[in-house]
Structure 1
Amino acid sequence: MEITAVGDVVMGSAPESLPPDDGRHLFDAVADRLTGDVVLANLDQALTDRTTSTKCGADSARCYAFRTPPSYAETLGAAGFTVINLANNHSRDFGEAGLRDTRAALTDAGLEHTGMPGQITMQQVGALRVAIVGFSPYGWTQSLLDIPAAQQLVGQAAEEADLVLVTIHAGAEGKDQSHVRPGREIFLGEDRGDPIAFSHAVIDAGADAVLGAGPHVLRGMEWYRGRLIAYSMGNFAGYETLSNDGPAGIGGVLRLRLAPDGTWDAGNLLGTVMVDPGVPEVDPTQQALDLVRSLSRTDFGECGVRLSPAGELQEPTC
């Protein structure tokens, strides 16, 4: 079974910052890479026509509320995505009503979504049942701050499915947050969880891979008990919203191939960049490979993922 994952996606911010043609061409340069049985993204915005943000007041400074019309769910489907993570700090930018609009828009477009409290999302892949479970530090989502509860939910998913994929929005944000260190990460006073402890715990409970987003930069990848943890896939698309300066502009498309029992078969990383005004393209220089290679070795030593010059993930060593 093939799984493809990217990081953070913001398709614009209504009403001023929307791509032309209702975003129909936003993913054109990378759509041929968004293939697989499960194709996952972290949607850092709402899909709603509501104009009042419950997050940012009229006088708010440095507060960001992102939305595009509900029809943009069709853009995600046309690009190749099959499941969208809503466990993040922007899915409720326009309140519970905006979150309901987002979920309805994705469903109407034929897309699965994950990340709500207690939610186990199932996708049928041939004869295999694949569970996708999303987590973030926020109370309107399935919380990654309560690790025992997360283990219980993942254990339930493992009983119901053949393979379990966990997606997380975890860790501090910013161009200086590429490294993963043991312990909790705090950002702007928020507890953003302990990415290492959480990821290890859910694999112990039955997860077959952990796929991360949230820090808005690429992070290293780790092998744990023969399973892959990609702590952050960085920024993928951020039309006139996300910074593409330096490390913030570097992302990737991660492709995994797992056996029916969840064991490793093969995988590769393709580097991408966000070009002005925040559109994803394949990176001709493949900066992501050297970056992930170095971060993985520095942060996880012998358990860090090794990449071939072509971006192939080498066999698990831990």
Structure 2
Amino acid sequence: MSSRAYGEPLRAPRYGARLAGAGFFLAFAGVVALSLASVQTGPAPGGAAAAPVQAASPVAGSERNAARPPTEVTIAATGDITLGSTPELPPDGARSLFAGVERELRGELVLGNLETALTDTGASKCGSGSTSCFSFRAPPSYAGRLQEAGFTMLNLANNHSFDFGSTGQGRTVDALDAARLRHTGRPGEIAYQQVGRVRLAVLGFAPYPWAQDLRDLDAAKRLVRQAAATADVVVVTMHMGAEGNAATHVPVGSEHYAGEQRGDSRAFAHAAVDAGADLVVGHGPHVLRGLEWYRGRLVAYSLGNFSSYRNLALSGASGISGILQVSLDGDGGWLEGRLVPVRLVGDGTPQLDRDGRAIEAIRALSEADFGAHAVRVDRDGALNPASG
């Protein structure tokens, strides 16, 4: 269903519509790549160079779904991913870490929030012997495990991607590139992915200097508008908010945690949609949060912990998670969605949850926090637009 059924258009005609109006026609057999030059978006905050815009090209996810209509895009998204931390690593090189959920990690875009530096070098941000600071790193080869599981893109806008400084982040980017995985979230970075005739843009935001800062709403809206002007479908990820079992509700106003001002989740999500985002995916609280229907677009405020090998406490709400599956039309309009319930077992391995605890939790949280604007969650996890 197109967003026009829910009110006036949110933006000017999108990238694809403008191309058609100008007489351009993208006609290729199957899933194709739109070849783009790597460009810079300008200086990042603090004088650092902005990350390059990533070129669109076919990836494993699009190849698996080549038979789907070219004007429909399927997206799967998860919450926080940690992969252990050297020397506490999965015994089989993480080859079976996602075995219990791989069949649900399917879509043209499969997006996760990577909270582990993939590096064997770099100095930890934590002092020697610290018991209140946490830094996570795993071998660069673990990028291959993510690709094998089905991921096509990882968000690096979070508090752990810089655990081992710029060296660690650079090695992480190199590892993802070598595994043919896209990444997003550095200052000024827009990652593109081509799906048939539909061009997707993905942007990551977090309240940290090594990420696109979500606390600067004006700058965030400018970057989202830039993405909307050059893509058909825009997905925004936000890493923000307090953490832990007491942080399941989305407050009104800014959140503070561990001495950090972590932004206003509602204000940022609404600003992103107003600027052109078609889907907003949140993570960071390490617990599930509710789903809001805002101006014809879905906002998932937090998808919880997706994997956490011996890194995080997983009792209560922290051990319940979900995979968000969404289908959008070629202009970003809603078609259908589903929440696949997941629970973390043992040392933090994700498994499908037949008891559906995530479905019950997210339905209650959505209704409590968003009332008439809550996404309606059926007993089987099907997602429906708000009735209000």
TM-score (norm 2): 0.81
| Residue in 1 that maps onto 2:146 | 76
User: Which residue identity lines up with residue 115 of structure 2 in the other structure?
Assistant: D
Offset at residue 51 of structure 1 (A): 5.6
**Distance (Å, rounded) in 2 between the aligned partners of 1:150 and 1:288:** 30
| Residue in 2 that maps onto 1:45 | 116
Residue aligned with 1:23, SS: coil
**Is 2:360 the counterpart of 1:315?**
no
**Distance (Å, rounded) in 2 between the aligned partners of 1:317 and 1:196:** 20
Kept in 1: contact 2:374–2:386 (CA 8 A): no
| Residue in 2 that maps onto 1:272 | 342
**Is 2:223 the counterpart of 1:153?**
yes
Percent identity over the alignment?
52
| Residue in 1 that maps onto 2:165 | 95
**Is 2:261 the counterpart of 1:191?**
yes
What do residues 32-64 of structure 1 show as CA deviations (whole Å, max 9, x unaligned)? 1100010000011100001631x1011423110
TM-score (norm 1): 0.98
Alignment of structure 1 residues 1-318 onto 2, 5 Å: 1-15=73-87, 17-50=88-121, 52-53=123-124, 55-317=125-387
**Distance (Å, rounded) in 2 between the aligned partners of 1:221 and 1:184:** 18
Offset at residue 189 of structure 1 (A): 1.1
**Distance (Å, rounded) in 2 between the aligned partners of 1:51 and 1:146:** 29
User: Which residue identity lines up with residue 304 of structure 2 in the other structure?
Assistant: G
Specify the structure having the higher radius of gyration (Cα).
2
Offset at residue 222 of structure 1 (A): 0.1
In structure 1, stretches of 5+ residues that fail to align are none
**Distance (Å, rounded) in 2 between the aligned partners of 1:127 and 1:261:** 11
| Residue in 1 that maps onto 2:43 | none
Residue aligned with 1:313, SS: strand
**Distance (Å, rounded) in 2 between the aligned partners of 1:317 and 1:190:** 36
- The RMSD of aligned alpha carbons is 0.8
**Distance (Å, rounded) in 1 between the aligned partners of 2:387 and 2:206:** 28
Stretches of 4+ moved more than 4 A in 1? Answer: none
**Distance (Å, rounded) in 1 between the aligned partners of 2:126 and 2:141:** 23
Kept in 1: contact 2:80–2:112 (CA 8 A): yes
In structure 2, stretches of 5+ residues that fail to align are 1-72
Residue aligned with 1:197, SS: helix
Kept in 2: contact 1:165–1:210 (CA 8 A): yes
